[in-house]
Amino acid sequence: MTETETPIGGDLFKSLLLKGILMIILGVIMLVFTFSSILALDYLFGIVLIVLGIQLLTSGSTFLGEYKRTWWVILLGILAIIIGIFAFVFPAVMTLYIVYLIAITSFISGFTDLALAISDKCGLANRALVAVSGVLGIILGILFIISPFVGAFVIVQVTGIFLLAFGILAIAEGFLAKKAVQTA
């Protein structure tokens, strides 16, 4: 069989190849231009908040779901727009805010993992892994709280590495899918 006989296989190959190339490009950009990537993420966060606020003010429905138009929804829309504009004016503060949210989430997750490891809710084989996960979560939360800008750089660098890896895997998956369609 050829690609012209199996348009699904050809489309799958092309989409996986394009996805892989785009992920690799984005990963390289995040690794090479880390500071610019942090700013871009701050601005993207601001755009999302402004769009969310406008949706709440105009229709009461958002990508998060349908809400009744009450004064709480209007207040939430105004607050989202203000925070979105704040993200554009003070991107460094928004970076701190986002890293602190990640740090607090990691800290809480670490404590819940430790509590789960101490309790009898997980199996004996998993208990050590859950405890290690909890300790690592607490350490990560503490490190991000102590040095949030280094934490932001680490987050963007690790994301860039994962994008590179997933891009390479998507390209390999595309070639495997193409080969599987050709041999079928």
Q: If residue 148 lies in a helix (H) or strand (E), which one and from where to where?
A: helix 148-183
CA–CA distance, 167 with 180 (Å, rounded to integer): 20
Asked if residue 50 has pLDDT above 90, the reply is: yes
CB of 22 within 8 A of CB of 167? Answer: yes
Neighbouring residues of 5: CB distance < 8 A, sequence distance ≥ 6: none
Q: pLDDT tens digit string along 123-141?
A: 777 888 888 999 999 999 9
Per the prediction, the chain carries an average pLDDT of: 87
Q: pLDDT tens digit string along 59-106?
A: 765 566 666 667 788 888 899 999 999 999 999 998 998 899 999 999
CA–CA distance, 180 with 17 (Å, rounded to integer): 15
Q: Give the pLDDT confidence score for residue 118 in this predicted structure.
A: 87
Between 181 and 32, name the one with better pLDDT.
32
Asked if residue 20 has pLDDT above 90, the reply is: yes
Nearest to 33 by CA among 131, 159, 169, 173: 159
The two three-digit tokens of residue 182, written as one number = 């050709």
Q: Give the pLDDT confidence score for residue 61 in this predicted structure.
A: 58
Phi (first) and psi of residue 34, to 5 degrees: -65, -45
Nearest to 22 by CA among 121, 123, 151, 164: 164
Residue type at 104 in one-letter notation: I
Task: For residues 13-42, give the mean pLDDT.
Answer: 93
CA–CA distance, 52 with 60 (Å, rounded to integer): 10
CA dihedral 87, 92, 95, 100 (to 10 degrees): -110
CB of 88 within 8 A of CB of 64? Answer: no
